[in-house]
């Protein structure tokens, strides 16, 4: 006999945000607060939000993964009791989230065919800092005795010392590095027959550490070494992405589009070489083409939601420690009169923007089809949206690049990902080298530099 449980009333949250004493002026001040279990992070230049514990968790599947997560978030906010003494973006109730790149639930070849395609996690505790203002939010489920007292957040979870992973070795992932050149060559061939204009092809490598990998070790190194990137951690997906899919704040929408890459030079004379390389990148027709598709895809996806938009005519060169990218900062104003009863949230904007041509290709459907056909990789959450959303829908979502997936089965194992935009003029050998450069942040985080 099967028993159908009556629908549960949505859980009721009690949320309290209060100002806290200044944190040390360090890039890692926020991530240093994190306990070792399932840390949540969205930090850049030392500011941002980190969280721990799980008051609530919503897992979603397939093409509806964004809309279902959004619906669950709205439902839970309806009855929430919120006391917010700070009132800046990131205070009050927030949920961290990450979503799979593809709609298709992975088949038998996947590590875990039942895994969710998306998750929103409402932490029990959030610590945040923005422009010198620091706060703590505690989130309790009504009737939940396990929730920490508002003034006890530092002690609610035992603070286990951060451990380094020890010696780390790397092996080929789903497709061996040598074979990946043929995958790229196939992408180029398809583009040359005019099947599509651009496709982004990715690969993974598998790192095995001597000791269990402590995500906080990775977060600390990334927050320090890649401070201009968004250092994120959600459910075992850790990275430092330079690409902001969307930030929505008080009606202003921002997106940093990246596509087109050149490696940074190391050693003596690197300043001069960097200047030369930046000029080379800015004038490279192949990189400009890759970039144009990406910037256009973002502008086209945002257009229906916005009353005005600024897309600079030419990209600038973004300098990161490992590479330089062609970059365009798109800014737009949300159109309050469109989008139904409430303006679109940052999460629904992320859903509309995903997958941009920076991680999929042009046209989108043909590119996604080709990725499924030839890439030979289960991207999982790599290149999907990762970030946070607040009660008013404002929030920040990055693209989960320069990232790694920590294995749930083997805590010493980590999958690192990198991908490259392929156009007609792409060279498989150069693309393999570019993918190696894009793996550098996570190799560095693991201490493999």
Ligand X SMILES: C=C(O[C@H]1C=CC=C(C(=O)O)[C@@H]1O)C(=O)O
Q: Which residues sit at the interface with ligand X, rule CB under 6 A? A: 200, 202, 243, 258-261, 290, 325, 358-359, 401-402, 418-421, 438
Asked if 89 and 390 touch (Cβ cutoff 8 Å), the reply is yes
Instruction: Provide, rounded to whole angstroms, the least separation between the CB of residue 317 and ligand X.
Output: 12
Task: Compare residues 258 and 295 and give the one whose CB is closer to ligand X.
Answer: 258
DSSP secondary structure letters along 139-159: EEETT-TTSPPGGGTTTSS--
Q: Is the bond into 90 cis (omega within 30 degrees of 0)?
A: no
Instruction: Provide, rounded to whole angstroms, the least separation between the CB of residue 434 and ligand X.
Output: 7
Mark 116-131 as b/e (b = at least 16 C-beta within 10 Å).
bbbbbbbbbbbbbbee
Asked if 295 and 311 touch (Cβ cutoff 8 Å), the reply is yes
Q: Which residue reads 């450069």 in tokens? A: 437
Q: For CA atoms 112, 113, 117, 121, give the dihedral sign.
A: negative
**Among candidate residues 387, 342, 383, the one with its CA nearest the CA of residue 121:** 387
Asked if 190 and 422 touch (Cβ cutoff 8 Å), the reply is no
Instruction: Provide, rounded to whole angstroms, the least separation between the CB of residue 253 and ligand X.
Output: 20
Instruction: Provide, rounded to whole angstroms, the least separation between the CB of residue 245 and ligand X.
Output: 11
Secondary structure (H, E, C), 164-200: CCCCEEEEECCCCHHHHHHHHHHHHHHHHCCCCCEEE
Task: Compare residues 40 and 401 and give the one whose CB is closer to ligand X.
Answer: 401
Instruction: Provide, rounded to whole angstroms, the least separation between the CB of residue 199 and ligand X.
Output: 11
Out of 70, 140, 243, 431, pick the active-site residue: 243
Instruction: Provide, rounded to whole angstroms, the least separation between the CB of residue 157 and ligand X.
Output: 32
Task: Compare residues 67 and 437 and give the one whose CB is closer to ligand X.
Answer: 437
Angle between helices 285-302 and 346-353 (to 10 degrees): 130
Out of 70, 140, 198, 396, pick the active-site residue: 198
Task: Compare residues 120 and 418 and give the one whose CB is closer to ligand X.
Answer: 418
Task: Respond yes or no: is residue 243 known to be catalytic.
Answer: yes
Q: Is 411 exposed, middle or buried (0-12, 13-18, 19+ CB in 10 A)?
A: middle
Rounded to the nearest 5°, which phi and psi values hold at 251?
A: 90, -10
Nearest-angstrom CA–CA distance, 185 and 242: 27
Instruction: Provide, rounded to whole angstroms, the least separation between the CB of residue 421 and ligand X.
Output: 3
Nearest-angstrom CA–CA distance, 432 and 449: 18
Instruction: Provide, rounded to whole angstroms, the least separation between the CB of residue 359 and ligand X.
Output: 5
Q: For CA atoms 212, 216, 219, 221, give the dihedral sign.
A: negative
Task: Compare residues 70 and 243 and give the one whose CB is closer to ligand X.
Answer: 243
Q: Which residues contact 88 (CB under 8 A, 6 or more apart)?
A: 130, 133, 135
Distances from the Cα of 70 to the Cα of 95, 115, 242, 266, angstroms: 10, 19, 25, 44
Nearest-angstrom CA–CA distance, 95 and 223: 21
Nearest-angstrom CA–CA distance, 392 and 130: 18
Residues carrying an active site annotation: 198, 243
């Amino acid at each position: 006999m099967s028993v159908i449980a009556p629908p549960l009333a949505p859980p009721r949250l009690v949320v309290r945000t209060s100002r806290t004493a200044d944190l040390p002026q360090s890039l890692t001040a926020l991530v240093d607060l994190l306990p070792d279990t399932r840390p949540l992070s969205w930090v850049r230049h030392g500011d941002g939000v980190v969280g721990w514990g799980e008051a609530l968790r919503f897992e979603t599947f397939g093409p509806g993964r964004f809309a279902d997560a959004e619906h669950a978030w709205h439902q839970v906010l309806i009855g929430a009791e919120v006391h917010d003494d700070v009132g800046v973006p990131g205070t009050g109730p927030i949920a961290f989230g990450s979503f799979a790149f593809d709609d298709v639930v992975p088949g038998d070849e996947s590590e875990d065919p039942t895994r969710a395609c998306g998750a929103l996690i409402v932490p029990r505790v959030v610590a945040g800092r923005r422009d010198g203002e620091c706060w703590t939010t505690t989130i309790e489920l009504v009737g939940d005795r396990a929730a920490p007292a508002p003034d006890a957040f530092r002690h609610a979870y035992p603070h286990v010392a951060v451990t380094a992973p020890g010696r780390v070795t790397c092996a080929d992932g789903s497709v061996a590095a040598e074979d990946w050149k043929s995958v790229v060559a196939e992408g180029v061939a398809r583009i040359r027959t005019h099947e599509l204009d651009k496709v982004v092809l990715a690969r993974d490598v598998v790192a095995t550490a001597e000791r269990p990998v402590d995500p906080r070790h990775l977060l600390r190194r990334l927050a320090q070494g890649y401070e201009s990137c968004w250092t994120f951690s959600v459910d075992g997906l850790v990275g430092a992405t330079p690409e902001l899919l969307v930030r929505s704040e008080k009606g202003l929408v921002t997106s940093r589009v990246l596509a087109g890459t050149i490696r940074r030079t190391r050693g003596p004379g690197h300043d001069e070489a960097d200047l030369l390389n930046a000029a080379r990148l800015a004038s490279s027709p192949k990189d400009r083409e890759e970039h144009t598709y990406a910037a256009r895809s973002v502008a086209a996806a945002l257009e229906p939601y916005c009353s005005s938009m600024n897309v600079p005519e030419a990209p600038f060169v973004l300098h990161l420690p490992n590479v330089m990218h062609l970059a365009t900062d798109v800014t737009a104003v949300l159109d309050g009169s469109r989008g139904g009863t409430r303006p679109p949230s940052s999460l629904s904007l992320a859903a509309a923007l995903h997958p941009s041509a920076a991680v999929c290709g042009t046209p989108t459907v043909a590119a996604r089809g080709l990725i499924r056909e030839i890439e030979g990789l289960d991207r999982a959450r790599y290149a999907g949206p990762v970030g946070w959303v607040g009660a008013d829908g404002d929030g920040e979502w990055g693209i989960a690049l320069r990232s790694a997936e920590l294995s749930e089965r083997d805590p010493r194992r980590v999958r690192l990902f990198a991908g490259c935009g392929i156009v007609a003029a792409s060279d498989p050998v150069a693309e393999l080298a570019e993918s190696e450069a894009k793996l550098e942040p996570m190799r560095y985080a693991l201490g493999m530099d």
